[in-house]
Amino acid sequence: MTASVPYDPDAFDDLLPPRARFAVRREPGPPRLNICLPHLHREHLFGGMASALALAAHLAPRYAAVRCLVLTPLPEASGRIDCGAALLRRPGEVVETVSLHDGAEIVFHPADVLLCPNWRTVLVWERAAALFAAAGMPPIPFYYFILDWEPGFYPMGLKHLAAEGTYRHGEYCQAVFHSRELYRFFAARNYAFDNPVVVRPSLDPLLRAVLGGLGGAIPARQGERINVLVYGRPGHHRNCFPALMAVIAAYAEAYGESQGRDVAFVSAGTPHEDVDFGHGTVLTSLGTLTMADYAAALLQSHVGMALMASPHPSYPPLEMACFGLETLTNAYPPAKDLSREHPRIRNIDPTDPKGAAEMLAQAIEAARARAGRETPIVFPKSVSPLDWSANFHRAGLPVLGGGEAAP
């Protein structure tokens, strides 16, 4: 027999910080919105995090009090998102911000409402609901802002099951779906939510402002050299970076000798080494761009490539199409097919590099043919030209708990 070791519960349950402690009290306080966030790092304020804060800012004025609960340790103040400013609270008002890592007891009362923008934050609601049930009280309600099908982020195992398990609370939550495509996917899988709300996502405010200042058309792009912008995130499996590399390699082999000097490939997303495919084709990594630099890159590019192995459409292909790029992305049947809603979006098969390389060559030629001419700004149907608050209003998002309805 081998020597035994003491049981370590953290080896099983690492889904929430081990020091997180929760309690409930019977006496209600003023209606309070508890915004559960994965982090408060300002440098990662984009995509899903920006969307979550947009919903939080829309809801916060409806509640007498607001509290931010953060799953990860709080960063230094210089790099931390200012919750009060982000939530548009009254000047000078302090928004209580608590990290679950701090070990302080987090107390809920019957007038609390939670906002949960990913599956791990729903685990906070599950802990609170269990405590309310043990005290003989009904669970508090929560908003579930569903930004993607998160069980797909994990191989079959505990986290996959735990993520999917958060979709079983339909009677207690107000589901808010981040896109029509995502809602179609969930409906096809028969997840049960009472009165779900579907919103169209908004572009980042800076990108929307840039487009709004162009007078309805993207300025003419030069045609001597075609710039291909690649959404490159090697560390994120759902963005299929190896497939993008294989497509460029196939393109370089088939077309590089004739077009290599006339086509430039750049990657934006996360930093990686530059990649030389031979035949005059090099992918240059720009790393993580500021939103202003990203807008400039979109205006200077002719073709865009962005993959997402998910029913969620993701922002990059929508942004690329809005900025007039010939855009290559992938479908996710039966829920997602962006090529049906915009004339410059093409679907490629990430598992067929040679076929995708032919599509890339077609996109490059289409961009070359349009060079020197303005491009009318056309928003894909999956993204809204309005801001987030207007989209939430249009979707008819109800206010839970004791919050005040929007005027």
For residue 92, give the CATH number of its domain.
Answer: 3.40.50.11090
Residue type, 328: L
With 80 as the cut, is the pLDDT of residue 284 above it?
yes
With 60 as the cut, is the pLDDT of residue 271 above it?
yes
CATH of the domain at 324: 3.40.50.2000
Q: Give the up-direction half-sphere exposure of residue 265: CA atoms within 13 A in the CB hemisphere.
A: 27
Is 355 domain-assigned? yes
Per-residue confidence (pLDDT) for residue 251, from 0 to 100? 97
With 90 as the cut, is the pLDDT of residue 324 above it?
yes
Is 402 domain-assigned? no
Is 401 domain-assigned? no
Is 105 domain-assigned? yes
Domain count within the chain: 2
Per-residue confidence (pLDDT) for residue 85, from 0 to 100? 74
- Percent of the chain having pLDDT more than 70? 94
* Alpha-carbon distance values, 407 to 61, 63, 87, 303, 364 (Å): 11, 14, 18, 43, 49
CA–CA distance, 139 with 142 (Å, rounded to integer) = 9
Same domain, 313 and 195: no
With 90 as the cut, is the pLDDT of residue 38 above it?
no
Same domain, 182 and 211: no
Helices (H) and strands (E) in the chain, counts: 11, 18
Report the chain's mean pLDDT, rounded to a whole number. 91
pLDDT band at 263 (very low <50, low <70, confident <90, very high): very high
With 80 as the cut, is the pLDDT of residue 318 above it?
yes
pLDDT band at 1 (very low <50, low <70, confident <90, very high): low
Per-residue confidence (pLDDT) for residue 91, from 0 to 100? 64
Is 275 domain-assigned? yes
Per-residue confidence (pLDDT) for residue 257, from 0 to 100? 75
Per-residue confidence (pLDDT) for residue 41, from 0 to 100? 81
Same domain, 194 and 303: no
Q: What mean pLDDT is predicted for residues 183-202?
A: 94
Per-residue confidence (pLDDT) for residue 42, from 0 to 100? 75
Same domain, 40 and 117: yes
CA–CA distance, 318 with 334 (Å, rounded to integer) = 19
Same domain, 276 and 324: yes
Same domain, 42 and 116: yes
Same domain, 244 and 149: no
Least confident of 16-20, 208-212, 298-302: 16-20
Q: What is the pLDDT of residues 383-406, one digit of tens each?
A: 999 999 999 999 999 999 876 665
Same domain, 228 and 308: yes
Is 406 domain-assigned? no
Is 351 domain-assigned? yes
Same domain, 220 and 176: no
With 90 as the cut, is the pLDDT of residue 74 above it?
no
Least confident of 48-57, 185-194, 338-347: 48-57
Same domain, 137 and 27: yes
For 218-249, the three-class secondary structure string (H helix, E strand, C coil) is ECCCCCCCEEEEEEECCCCHHHCHHHHHHHHH
Q: What mean pLDDT is predicted for residues 110-114?
A: 96
Same domain, 221 and 165: no
Answering whether pTM is above 0.85, one says yes
Per-residue confidence (pLDDT) for residue 81, from 0 to 100? 76
Q: What mean pLDDT is predicted for residues 81-96?
A: 72
CA–CA distance, 70 with 156 (Å, rounded to integer) = 27
Range of the domain at 300: 205-376
Per-residue confidence (pLDDT) for residue 88, from 0 to 100? 65
With 70 as the cut, is the pLDDT of residue 339 above it?
yes
Please state the separation of Cα 402 from the chain's center in Å.
Answer: 29
Is 382 domain-assigned? no
Per-residue confidence (pLDDT) for residue 348, from 0 to 100? 98
Same domain, 65 and 91: yes
With 80 as the cut, is the pLDDT of residue 358 above it?
yes
With 80 as the cut, is the pLDDT of residue 90 above it?
no
